[in-house]
């Protein structure tokens, strides 16, 4: 039962263009959504989050959009840079019996070409 | 100065052996976690401790036993290792409160069982 899904395993974009990474979820009780970035042989690092009561959160080149009715969120990176090439994980927290655990999607590998 | 550290980074061992992975965080967080990333790249919660008390145990075989000697350390001991235990294990920590539960991850331990 995969509550958080990232259906695109990979994405390739040109430097300077927009990268859009998508994530779908099934549990309407989630109260926070987070994006993590992971380089090879390193642990995931926190990028940006959004509360379920908001529909947009922006931090520099990174913007996360939340569409609660569609149970869908997306991460926009503008402009994309070669250093953004990494695996991006969507994660959700909250729900009944909230224990603080994060439920992760399977990740999308982003490649930004110079 | 590393915030969340794990040792060893790589671990290769034979089936049936017992091994331990250590984790330490210097962030002063109260909660620590173990996640497993399997061959399909899913990151799944295994255990969580809050101030040395077990709060999450996600249907993990009892061959896996976490131990938290103090709130800055969460070790993972695995008995009778099996081929299916091969994965990357990530330790994480956070300071739960109101709001988003941002978790900080260690670099991971790649366990290979032969």
Q: What is the pLDDT of residue A96?
A: 59
* Nearest chain A CA: its distance from B45 CA (Å): 7
Q: How far apart are CA B85 and CA B82, in angstroms?
A: 5
Interface check for B55 against chain A (CB to CB < 8 A): the answer is yes
The pLDDT tens digits for B1-56 are 679 999 999 999 999 999 999 999 999 999 999 999 988 788 999 999 988 888 88
Give phi and psi for B51, each to the nearest 5. Answer: 50, 50
Q: Mean of the per-residue pLDDT values for chain B? A: 92
The pLDDT > 90 percentage for chain A reads 87
Mean pLDDT over B75-84 rounds to: 96
Interface check for B28 against chain A (CB to CB < 8 A): the answer is no
Interface check for A30 against chain B (CB to CB < 8 A): the answer is no
The pLDDT tens digits for A14-69 are 999 999 999 999 999 999 999 999 999 899 999 999 999 999 999 999 999 999 99
Residues 94 through 113 of chain A touching chain B, CB cutoff 8 Å: 99-104, 106-107
Q: How confident is the model at residue B97 (pLDDT cuts 50, 70, 90)?
A: confident
Q: What is the pLDDT of residue B54?
A: 87
Q: How far apart are CA B56 and CA A47, in angstroms?
A: 25
Q: For residue A36, what are the CA distances in angstroms to A48, B21, B44, B68, B76?
A: 7, 23, 14, 26, 24
Q: What is the pLDDT of residue B1?
A: 66
Q: For residues B97 and A35, which has the higher predicted lDDT (pLDDT)?
A: A35
Pairwise CB contact (< 8 Å): B48 & A45: no
- Using a CB-CB distance cutoff of 8 angstroms, which residues of chain A are in contact with residue B102? 34, 46, 49
Q: Is residue B73 a contact partner of residue B23, using CB atoms and an 8 Å limit?
A: yes
Element (H, E) at B58: none
Closest chain B CA to residue A106: B42
- Using a CB-CB distance cutoff of 8 angstroms, which residues of chain A are in contact with residue B55? 99-100
To test the contact with chain A by mutation, choose from B41, B50, B55, B108 the residue with the greatest count of A C-beta atoms within 10 A, namely: B41
Question: Is the pLDDT confidence value at B64 over 70?
Answer: yes
- Using a CB-CB distance cutoff of 8 angstroms, which residues of chain A are in contact with residue B108? 41-43
Instruction: State how beta strands A86-94 and A30-38 pair.
Output: antiparallel
Q: How confident is the model at residue A98 (pLDDT cuts 50, 70, 90)?
A: low
Q: What is the pLDDT of residue A97?
A: 59
Q: How many inter-chain contacts (A to B, CB under 8 Å) are there?
A: 60
Q: What is the pLDDT of residue B44?
A: 92
């Amino acid at each position: 039962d995969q509550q958080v899904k990232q259906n695109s395993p990979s994405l390739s974009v040109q430097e300077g263009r927009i990268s859009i990474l998508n994530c779908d979820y099934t549990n309407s009780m989630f109260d926070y959504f987070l994006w993590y970035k992971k380089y090879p042989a390193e642990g995931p690092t926190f990028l940006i989050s959004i509360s379920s009561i908001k529909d947009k959160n922006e931090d520099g080149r990174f913007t996360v959009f939340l569409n609660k009715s569609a149970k869908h969120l997306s991460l926009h990176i503008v402009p994309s840079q070669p250093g953004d090439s990494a695996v991006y994980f969507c994660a959700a927290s909250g729900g009944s019996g909230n224990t603080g655990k994060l439920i992760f999607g399977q990740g999308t590998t982003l490649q930004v070409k110079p | 100065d590393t915030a969340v550290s794990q040792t060893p980074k790589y671990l290769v061992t034979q089936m049936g052996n017992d091994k331990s992975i250590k984790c330490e965080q210097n962030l002063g967080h109260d909660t620590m976690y173990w996640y497993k990333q399997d061959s399909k790249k899913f990151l799944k919660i295994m255990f969580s401790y809050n101030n040395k008390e077990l709060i999450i145990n996600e249907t993990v075989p009892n061959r896996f036993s976490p131990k938290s000697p103090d709130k800055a350390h969460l070790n993972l001991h695995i008995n009778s290792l099996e081929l299916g235990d091969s994965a990357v294990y990530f330790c994480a920590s956070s300071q739960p409160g109101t709001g988003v539960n941002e978790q900080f991850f260690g670099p991971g331990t790649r366990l290979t069982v032969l």
